[in-house]
Structure 1
Amino acid sequence: MEKLRHITKKLWKQRWVKPVLGVLVLFLGLTLAFPLKVRPRYSTVITAADGTVLHAFLSDDDKWRLATELAEITPVLRQTILQKEDRYFYYHPGFNPVAMARAVFRNLTTGRRTSGASTITMQVVRLLEPRERTYGSKIIELFRAIQLEIFYSKDEILQLYVNLVPYGGNIEGIKSASMLYLGKPPQLLSLAEVTTLTIIPNRPSSLRLGINNTRIVQERNRWLNRFRKTGLFPDETIVDALAEPLNAYRRALPSRAPHLALRLKKSHPDQPVIHTRLLPNRQAQTEQLVAHYVGRVRAMNIHNAAVLVVNNQTMAVEAYVGSAGFRNRYDGGQVDGVRAVRSPGSTLKPLLYALAFDQGLMTPKTVVNDVPTSFSGYEPENYDRQFYGPITVESALANSLNVPAVKTLQQLGTPKFVDLLKKAGFETIKKQSKSLGLSVILGGCGVTLEELTRLFAAFANGGEARNLSYILPNEAEGTSRKNRLISPDAAFLITNTLTQITRPDLPNNFDNSYHLPRIAWKTGTSYGRRDAWSIGYNKRYTVGVWVGNFSGEGVPELSGANIATPLLFSIFNAIDYNSSSGWFRMPKSLSMRQVCAETGDVPGEFCEHKIVDYAIMGVSPYHRCQHRKTVWTNAIGTVSYCAHCLPETAGTDDAVQKLYPNLAPELIAFYESRRIPYAKIPPHNPACTRVFARQGPQIMSPNDGSEYFINPNQPQQLQLSCQADNEVKEVYWYLNDKLYRKAAPTEGVFFSPQPGALKISCADDKGRNTNIQITVRAE
């Protein structure tokens, strides 16, 4: 410590120390008072995964000022610039004292300014802060150059120079000139092209690319010959460059993926270069397929489409098409169909059934009844307005039937399903969650193509949802975060069902065709035929397709099957034809078991037709099948007996046991209304004294305790319907204890309600009755 003090005192006595310290203090004070501001206002450039430019925007001061990254400054470009502008760039502190002294001497001896001494650093200062060319300005530039050298590396200063040099008009920077006049990025430039671009900034008005190309070639060759004399490049390289023609003219910058480009520019406003994960060839191919396809269906009054292509392994978005034509103002081409909120139609059904599988409510072969059903006044119909009676869950999903889906949602509970949708990232559903009901499964909510595609990519990834990745990982925010929605078992069962091709949503003329790719897919058509969806996936890719009109206009021909799916198939055939990536494997926790074909339950003693079904071990239901039951009847099967009226001679010709289908009342009502023959249980013994203890007719419509709103100016009617036992031939409807009408049990009866409380009663011809209460209000 003592030695350090001694050295300090000795230094302080030196004459040069105090002046130097004074200069340093002055420089520091000036730097604090006049800080250097290096804030070039770059154009936003959107690049593809391979670095090629997809889209570019003017800077906010209306300049084409494309940022050149350090990796784009090739050794040839670096050597050419340094040889021409500042050979001692890497050695001086921002100014070249020798060059400055030589310039001062020449200017004084000639009486005029004959040469300058601006280094690249000083030129950068002048480009950042333009001033009149005076000696006072030179002093300020000198001060700023030293600041620049202190706070920035040499490579960063060179990069600023490359980005700011003028090329006439509103074009600045070598990359801007390279892309606009030569149609290529700086790293692909030849020596002749590099030399061309380095000479323009000194004479941007007289050496105008595309106009004065002959003069530019003469000046270029003069500098190439100077490079040959200095030995900067090999002679053969110089000879080739001298002979190279100049093909320079004003070009338009690429404009691929305009919707994504605008989206990323808005979300990253201060980032001059945004590296996306789009594949340029895939983007161009998909844009072309969409444009051509919409051109074909435009005659049907269908004007737009949107497509998203996702790589399942990386979740990288490899193609993003927001509309059929961005510049088509008449059809709303600038609307981003990938993010537009639309009705999903039936596209959410796979997630519903996957949740039901995971909750142990059913398996693919579980049989449900597709019959007319009222859910508290909500009476859904199928797309074709038909009902199919008993049908397996996998068939209900493959055929996109509505009643089984609504029944499943009612069993699960709407809140549980909505919570899963929120977990899957459906933002509009998060906002609508409090008002959503059973209709959510048939499209009564808002979703985007982006959200649906991400959901189906989760099926492809074994039930794990991950964020879509639009930009390179080092720039993205948490794209690798995983969120398990469903089990791998449920995901496999859904995939297995959606792979079936014997289904109504297979487009016309695609069956038994080589055009059919091996994918799992689901279609959807919104109410009013306003939106057609088709989302498909295989091991490698998930592709989401929406087709429709941004105006919301419905079209009779619009459907997911015949309009959206052909485009989906075309894209898959283009990007992954005859894929060798394999198919999905069954998880080890998934087992196979025999079930009864009539119910999908574990076979019971009366099950004769058995089939194989999947089951999630420890989760799937284990119910014994009871699709048939024994009934005591007389010998000819015209009367049935209960335990109270069974003859004492049971087992003889007086009473025998027979097997009958154990049908649900709703299915019996369906068969009766459609006059579909089935094995009926004979009417109960009319002599039985305990018959009145049995249940009376069940009122199916209206719904007990509900409120119904009517418009007094436009009278509306409500339907009365019920389910009754087989032996009932007639029922009697009462309104507020007054007989309204006699009808058959399966007949629908209509009446015009009046505002107020209303008691509705239904009695059968056995004297049994049921009552409900509703309230009718005027709108």
Structure 2
Amino acid sequence: MKQRIGIRLLVVLGILGGLLLGLDRLFPVPPAPQYSPLVLAQDGTVLHAYLNPTQKWRMKTELREITPVLRRAIIEKEDRWFRWHFGVNPLALVQAAGRNVFGTGRTTGASTITMQVARLLEPKERTFGNKLLEMARATQLEAHHSKDEILQLYLNLVPYGGNVEGVKSAALLYFQQTPDYLSLAQTVTLAIIPNRPRGLVLGKNNAAVRRERNRWLRRFRAAKLFPKQDIADALLEPLEVQRHAAPTLAPHLSRRLVRQYPHAAIIRSSLQRAKQSKAEDLTRNYVRRLRELGISQAAVLVVNNRTRRVEAYVGSADFRDFRGQGQNDGITAVRSPGSTLKPFLYALALDRGLVTPKLLLPDVPTNFQGYRPENFDKNCNGEVTLERALAYSLNIPAVRVLQDLGVPTFTEQLQRAGFRSVARNRARLGLSSILGGCGASLEELTGLYATLANGGRYGPLGLTVNIHAGASPPGPLSEKGEGELEASRLSSSKKLKASSPSPFSERGLGGEAPGRGLGVALVSPAAAFLVTDILSQLTRPDLPLGAASSTRLPKIAWKTGTSYGRRDAWSIGYNRDYTIGVWVGNFSGQGSPALTGSDVATPLLFDLFNTLAYNSPNDWFAPPAALDFRLVCAESGRVPGENCPNQVIDYFLPSVSSGQRCQHQREVLVSADGSFTYCRACAPAAGFRRELYPNLLPEVAAYKESQGLPYRRLPPHNPQCQRVRGGPERAPSITSPTANTEYVLNAREQPQLLLSCTTDSEVRQVYWYVNDQFLRAAAATERVFFRPGPGPLKISCADDHGRNTDVLVTVSEL
């Protein structure tokens, strides 16, 4: 008999359990509330807050922010038996029913904290039937969540008047603190308002709120809830509060992160609040002084080199400046980088043994297969060392080095460094890419310079912390589901994976930034050090006026850049601890005569370093063990040959740097009177002498000749010699017109076409032909003009040694 009763009881319990389970699935727990997206600083303080989709301030209170004081005050006031009941307090129901039926005492609904959560999640008219549903939901909530999670939900949903909901929203908007930083008096103030959100309005009824606060403080003292002295102090605390605006620091980064993590209620960024605030103030005040020059915007990015985290992110001078398009993000905007890529180019060339710091590079007007770059000041220097070419940001030597290195090699490394525009347009990029002919953003350039500061190793920059990939998604009502773990789920999804790396790749945004020593090696530590050593020199033209005499000049390596038309000014610098990138200009693309990297971007860069990194350790980069010294010829920068009396010390990379011997002078057979030279084929048995002459490149010799610069010129060759000397590589090089180019001429203006060339130093005369018809003879450096007819033209140039060069062009008339 007892056995049958037990079986029946189990069957009944099973049916009841199945029924409850079915009801639970049929009527699932209500979805989590929609929170106001919050972007936090690295220390957890709120940088920026947004209204939630229903236009309410409902900021998520995290479990760690629910202090024991707040917990005890809420439970004592709202539901003393919260820890013991299952969502409904039967004793409170009986007491409430008695009071309501017999009219004794205050009429109540005996709502527990859990029942209030159920009502706040699903607001309904207060009827007896809805009260029963509320109790059922409360029981369901208790089955799905812990007491701490239910209390957290309650504190996130309680009303504080108007569109303010939740303890954290009230704490930030009225006390400008998160709940875990409030005093006892402030905590009790927030605990008493939800029951009377319309009557107790902070900022309007402060006196009434204070009286009600003190009444509850005395009740808590009677209940011995808090120490007597703490309550005594709280009773004396004044209440002079008003509604404040929500935090709005780092608006550009906050908008970017909220868009990237649309379901995250809380995103902890990598920013340092103090650095962000200082950077915004410095940028805003600095740009105010530039407005009279027609310059309205600037952007700043500050990176911690040791962690590769972004610690300040200023997308524009003023986010609210609609006239200046302040809501544009200057960090991600793709602009012409000007000369800012030159350090990376020279580092790559150093690693491939093409150059060393003291190597002399031609700095003369040069036609690179139709591309004729000019230096910024329109002047040339003849020949300069690599370190001077970089320190003075000369364009022509940089283009020559890029030609030697190869554009594909250069752009491939930029792609590895996360340059997205370069990756998309690699096939179309040419030699102009080193002078700003490729697009780049401030985030990409700053990441590249952080790579140099990190010994040549590239890694993605971090914008967030404490978001770890691989976290499993929680349930529908889990508070974690709307917070950081939800963001981590998104960051690990396939939707966010990029096909090419980026300095702000999803991997970098989604978690801890890699530390020093990790990442991809783009250049060697030796090459990075050599470039850094050059960029830290103070003898350079891009030093701001008066900066050399300033005691506030920071110890940094930096490089400036100015785009074509003076539309963009760049200055990016670094030391061991920080890399800071600065862009100044107009989002409209309008240029300004004053807009140069040295004049308007570098002063802000120096101010940022002096303000943000003033307490950085005063240590500097040390030469890597892979570097060594050697003597080189001062005239060429190469390993000394037989005729190199002037020598200097230069860095080099053993087994990498070129060991080519210097040939800046060559031995020539000269007639006794010095009037002409002999080649080996026509040299007489006697009556000549051996002399040393400069062995200049043809373009360098032509430049010296055109500028009237003194140099020892080679005498003409023996006129009796019948042998054509030298191969086609020593033939004249036609610099104008450009091969395979169409020239459109205005017939009414009687235009003329320029003919010019460069030749060996021994060439005295050249002969010009048009369509195989002789035009005229000219000196080797003479500029010849003629008026062509329309149609295809074959331009030929022969020198006095019989060597010939042809180019094909087309002429059209308007």
Name the stretch that deviates more: 52-61 or 716-725: 716-725
Match of 1:123 in 2: 116
CA displacement at 1:752 relative to structure 2? 5.1
CA distance in 2 between partners of 1:206 and 1:113 (Å): 19
Name the stretch that deviates more: 765-774 or 553-562: 765-774
Q: 1:638 to 1:711 in 2, by over 3 A?
A: closer
Does 2:534 match 1:497? yes
Q: Is the 8 A contact 2:364 2:703 kept in 1?
A: yes
SS at match of 1:13: helix
Residue from 734, 740, 762 that aligns with 1:706: 740
Q: 1:40 to 1:216 in 2, by over 3 A?
A: same
Q: 1:396 to 1:726 in 2, by over 3 A?
A: closer
Does 2:446 match 1:444? no
CA displacement at 1:776 relative to structure 2? 4.8
Residue from 499, 523, 531 that aligns with 2:560: 523
For 1:587-606, list aligned pairs within 5 A.
587-606=624-643
Q: Is the 8 A contact 1:65 1:164 kept in 2?
A: yes
Residue from 631, 650, 655 that aligns with 2:688: 655
CA distance in 2 between partners of 1:122 and 1:616 (Å): 75
Residue from 774, 778, 793 that aligns with 1:743: 778
Does 2:300 match 1:300? no
Name the stretch that deviates more: 76-85 or 268-277: 268-277
Does 2:127 match 1:103? no
Q: Is the 8 A contact 1:64 1:171 kept in 2?
A: yes
Aligned CA RMSD, in angstroms, stands at 2.2
CA distance in 2 between partners of 1:468 and 1:747 (Å): 55
Match of 2:50 in 1: 57
Match of 1:396 in 2: 389
Q: Is the 8 A contact 1:274 1:471 kept in 2?
A: yes
Does 2:466 match 1:432? no
SS at match of 2:809: strand
Name the stretch that deviates more: 723-732 or 386-395: 723-732
Match of 2:714 in 1: 681
For 1:694-733, list aligned pairs within 5 A.
698-702=732-736, 706-708=740-742, 710=744, 718-726=753-761, 728-733=763-768
SS at match of 2:246: coil
Q: Is the 8 A contact 1:707 1:777 kept in 2?
A: no
Amino acid at match of 1:429: V
For 1:537-556, list aligned pairs within 5 A.
537-556=574-593
Q: 1:353 to 1:694 in 2, by over 3 A?
A: closer
- After superposition, the C-alpha distances for 1:590-629 in whole angstroms (9 at most, x for unaligned) are 1111111111111111111111111112111111111111
- After superposition, the C-alpha distances for 1:168-196 in whole angstroms (9 at most, x for unaligned) are 11000011111111221111111111111
Q: 1:10 to 1:434 in 2, by over 3 A?
A: farther
CA distance in 2 between partners of 1:755 and 1:11 (Å): 114
Which TM-score applies when normalising by structure 1?
0.95
CA displacement at 1:581 relative to structure 2? 4.6
Does 2:214 match 1:221? yes
Amino acid at match of 2:552: H
CA distance in 2 between partners of 1:221 and 1:723 (Å): 94
Name the stretch that deviates more: 205-214 or 107-116: 107-116
Q: Is the 8 A contact 2:456 2:528 kept in 1?
A: yes
CA displacement at 1:12 relative to structure 2? 5.7
CA distance in 2 between partners of 1:94 and 1:717 (Å): 96
CA distance in 1 between partners of 2:725 and 2:18 (Å): 109
Match of 2:506 in 1: none
CA displacement at 1:208 relative to structure 2? 1.0
Q: Is the 8 A contact 2:370 2:738 kept in 1?
A: no
CA distance in 2 between partners of 1:188 and 1:689 (Å): 97
Q: 1:209 to 1:658 in 2, by over 3 A?
A: same
CA distance in 1 between partners of 2:301 and 2:466 (Å): 19
Q: Is the 8 A contact 2:724 2:803 kept in 1?
A: no
CA distance in 2 between partners of 1:194 and 1:500 (Å): 57
Q: 1:286 to 1:116 in 2, by over 3 A?
A: same
Residue from 244, 254, 257 that aligns with 2:247: 254
For 1:129-168, list aligned pairs within 5 A.
129-168=122-161
SS at match of 1:237: helix
Q: Is the 8 A contact 2:300 2:583 kept in 1?
A: yes
SS at match of 2:548: coil
- After superposition, the C-alpha distances for 1:12-69 in whole angstroms (9 at most, x for unaligned) are 6266544433332221111111111232110011111111111111001000001111
Amino acid at match of 1:240: D
Q: Is the 8 A contact 2:98 2:104 kept in 1?
A: no
- After superposition, the C-alpha distances for 1:305-358 in whole angstroms (9 at most, x for unaligned) are 100000000111111111111111111111111111100000001111111111
Match of 2:271 in 1: 278
Amino acid at match of 1:735: V
Amino acid at match of 2:740: S
Q: 1:691 to 1:376 in 2, by over 3 A?
A: closer
CA distance in 2 between partners of 1:693 and 1:320 (Å): 60
Match of 1:3 in 2: none
For 1:24-63, list aligned pairs within 5 A.
24-63=17-56
Identity across aligned pairs (percent)?
A: 53
Match of 1:560 in 2: 597
CA distance in 2 between partners of 1:637 and 1:700 (Å): 30
Match of 2:606 in 1: 569
Number of aligned residue pairs: give it.
768
Which TM-score applies when normalising by structure 2?
0.91
SS at match of 1:593: strand
Match of 2:505 in 1: none
Q: Is the 8 A contact 1:11 1:17 kept in 2?
A: no
CA distance in 2 between partners of 1:368 and 1:327 (Å): 48
Q: 1:498 to 1:714 in 2, by over 3 A?
A: farther
Match of 2:660 in 1: 623
Name the stretch that deviates more: 164-173 or 111-120: 111-120
Match of 1:177 in 2: 170
Amino acid at match of 1:738: Q
Q: 1:330 to 1:556 in 2, by over 3 A?
A: same
CA distance in 2 between partners of 1:172 and 1:101 (Å): 31
SS at match of 2:620: coil
CA displacement at 1:697 relative to structure 2? 5.1
CA displacement at 1:516 relative to structure 2? 1.6
Q: 1:28 to 1:655 in 2, by over 3 A?
A: same
CA displacement at 1:109 relative to structure 2? 2.4
Match of 1:78 in 2: 71
SS at match of 2:756: strand
Q: 1:534 to 1:694 in 2, by over 3 A?
A: closer
- After superposition, the C-alpha distances for 1:670-690 in whole angstroms (9 at most, x for unaligned) are 111111110111111222233
Amino acid at match of 1:700: I
CA displacement at 1:692 relative to structure 2? 7.1
CA displacement at 1:11 relative to structure 2? 8.0
SS at match of 2:549: coil
Does 2:675 match 1:642? no
CA displacement at 1:703 relative to structure 2? 6.7
CA displacement at 1:767 relative to structure 2? 5.9
CA displacement at 1:709 relative to structure 2? 5.2
Q: 1:236 to 1:706 in 2, by over 3 A?
A: same
SS at match of 1:206: coil
Greater relative contact order (CA < 8 Å, ≥ 6 in sequence): 2
Name the stretch that deviates more: 16-25 or 385-394: 16-25
Does 2:649 match 1:612? yes
CA displacement at 1:737 relative to structure 2? 2.2
Match of 2:769 in 1: 734
- After superposition, the C-alpha distances for 1:642-676 in whole angstroms (9 at most, x for unaligned) are 11222212xxxx21111111111111111111111
CA displacement at 1:719 relative to structure 2? 3.0
CA distance in 2 between partners of 1:578 and 1:102 (Å): 66
CA displacement at 1:638 relative to structure 2? 2.3
CA distance in 2 between partners of 1:445 and 1:15 (Å): 81
CA displacement at 1:578 relative to structure 2? 6.2
Amino acid at match of 1:664: L
Does 2:449 match 1:466? no
Name the stretch that deviates more: 551-560 or 512-521: 512-521
Q: Is the 8 A contact 1:629 1:661 kept in 2?
A: yes
Amino acid at match of 1:190: S
Name the stretch that deviates more: 690-699 or 132-141: 690-699
